[in-house]
Amino acid sequence: MTTDTAPKLALVTGASRGLGAALAEALAGAGYHVMAVARTQGGLEELDDRIQAAGGSATLAPLDMADPAQIAHLAQAISGRWGGLDLWAHCAVHAAPLTPAGHIDPKDMTKAIATNIAGTATLIAEIGPVLGPNGTALFFADDRAGQKFFGCYGATKAAQIALAESWAAESAKIGPRVVIDRPAPMPTAVRARFFPGEDRAPLTPCRAEAARILAAL
């Protein structure tokens, strides 16, 4: 954990766009120093520009969630530089293309398992100790499991949340606090791929959901 004299530190995995980017900006606006992690360097740099323009601060860390060595290095870097972490928001996910269950591309399934399941398990193992007993880990459920054409994404996303639920039960008395939120539908790039042509006007803006989530915390 950070000290009373140092800024609070938040890690946002999957921070380059969508809800992750909105949360990173909201956290920076609330006084956190944000460790922003994603695969997309350009998206992270654009996020950093927005955070700095609003008077906040961030550290960028391009990283592949499917690489355990990179995740271990991230945890060591956070611990070595800041000593601990106050909040971790896990927004990273591999959203495979929609397809019938019998036609799932093995490469997509392998990547989804590596990112959504194995990557999340590695993050819990590495980031959990950096959070310590008083930190908070935040996950986001998406109830697509069992829906038609969502076989790859739905199964691996459900497994990701099952991991988080187990960790929440295990940590209930000893910390860190593990929170699982179910965001409202938002006009993200992932949703646009899932539902092309959808009327996006009724969807909740990512920034509004980020504000609600932080207020609830």
- Domain extents in the chain: 9-216
What integer pLDDT is reported at residue 1 of this predicted model? 47
**For residue 1, what are the contacts with CB-CB under 8 A and spacing of at least 6?**
83, 84, 85, 86, 131, 132, 134, 135
Nearest to 53 by CA among 89, 29, 84, 20: 29
| pLDDT tens, position by position, 108-130 | 999 999 999 999 999 999 999 99
Distances (CA, A) of 173 to 5, 28, 88, 95, 123: 27, 29, 19, 33, 21
Fold of domain 9-216: Rossmann fold (3.40.50)
Confidence of residue 5 (pLDDT cuts 50, 70, 90): low
| pLDDT tens, position by position, 44-92 | 999 999 999 999 999 999 999 999 999 999 999 999 999 999 999 999 9
21 token code pair: 């980017």
Confidence of residue 3 (pLDDT cuts 50, 70, 90): very low
Confidence of residue 2 (pLDDT cuts 50, 70, 90): very low
Report the pLDDT averaged over residues 92-121: 97
Quote the distance between the C-alpha of residue 206 and its chain's center: 13
**For residue 69, what are the contacts with CB-CB under 8 A and spacing of at least 6?**
none
Kindly state the percentage of the chain with pLDDT values over 70: 97
Residue with tokens 């956290």: 27
Quote the distance between the C-alpha of residue 112 and its chain's center: 15
